[in-house]
Structure 1
Amino acid sequence: MDEESVIRLRNAIMRTGRRLRTTASEEGLTATQSSVLATLVRQGPTGAGELAAAEAVNPTMLSRVLAHLEEAGLATRAPSPDDARCTLARATPAGRRLVARLRARRAALLLERIEELDPAHVAVLLDALPALEALARVDEAR
């Protein structure tokens, strides 16, 4: 893949992702707050250090994000039962409902855009799904 193709792919992914992330702001969350909450829903109770690493944020920023989520009733923090020096964060039922609502809205928004495409482009997107999923896993493995 040449540099121009990489730039085009990045731009397409970034513009699409940016539009999908706006759904979180409609719920009063920043992109980082939404991402942290979604990670808690996906992974279950998670240590603060592991969560900061997964979200690529520093511990101070994560603490602020978790404080906001806690104030909003979307997450809780408590000492880890394995090590009281560590904090364990988890999504509340309200947090899980919000993430489900955001996922549904993002899926609906993406589907609206896909339905505007030529059927041949839709077929290409479907064929590209395994490669795009593999690309996402490469990043997650780091």
Structure 2
Amino acid sequence: MSGLDSDDLARLRVALARIGRGLDRHSRGEELTRTQVSVLGTVAVRGPIGMGELAAIEGLNPTMLSRLAGKLAAAGLLMRDTDPDDGRAIRVAATEQGLAEHHRQRAERTRLLAAHVDGLPGGHAEGLRAALPALEALASSLRDEPAGTGR
């Protein structure tokens, strides 16, 4: 198995989920869902991207993604156009407003995380720094695993 027992793994999973939800809740505002924030972030970071590739990255079915992209486009955060390499395919890109919203949310999450890390007692902040390589490796491993394989 791993160097962590099932109780440790459960604690890690719960802590990571709570951190993610807490940062999300305080930074995304009232208008966007967590999924919309994730899609906007992926598009903002990757630039113009095909809907098929975006659906695979986000783990969404194409119909759900199309609806979601439509809502983000209606809000002025994404724009849709035809893929220049394949006239049948649609791609999306972040608008200036979408990029600004993505950067605002990132800055707010960073500010919020910094405030809470700075408020930790004792050597907890240093412990987090020491854990970063392991957490980054874990995130990379999970990102690279095909959906539904569950190892």
> Shorter-normalised TM-score: what interval?
over 0.9
1:78 is matched by which residue type in structure 2? D
Q: Which residue of 1 aligns with 2:5?
A: 2
Q: Which residue of 1 aligns with 2:47?
A: 44
Query: 2:137 & 2:78 partners in 1: Cα distance?
Result: 30
Report the TM-score when normalising by structure 2: 0.90
Report the TM-score when normalising by structure 1: 0.96
Secondary structure at the counterpart of residue 100 of structure 2: helix
**Percent of pairs with identical residues:** 45
| Per-residue CA distance 1:48-90 (angstroms, 9 max, x = gap) | 0110110111111101110011001110111100111111111
1:13 is matched by which residue type in structure 2? L
Aligned residues: 141
2:34 is matched by which residue type in structure 1? A
The structure with the greater share of residues assigned to helix is 1
1:120 is matched by which residue type in structure 2? G
Q: Which residue of 2 aligns with 1:132?
A: 135
| Per-residue CA distance 1:86-133 (angstroms, 9 max, x = gap) | 111110111001000000111111111111112411101001111111
Alignment of 1:3-82 (within 5 A): 3-22=6-25, 23-24=27-28, 26-82=29-85
Q: Say which of 102, 108, 112 aligns to 2:111.
A: 108
Which ranges in structure 2 are unaligned for 5 or more consecutive residues?
A: 146-151
Which ranges in structure 1 are unaligned for 5 or more consecutive residues?
A: none
Query: 1:111 & 1:27 partners in 2: Cα distance?
Result: 22
Work out whether 1:117 is the aligned partner of 2:120. yes
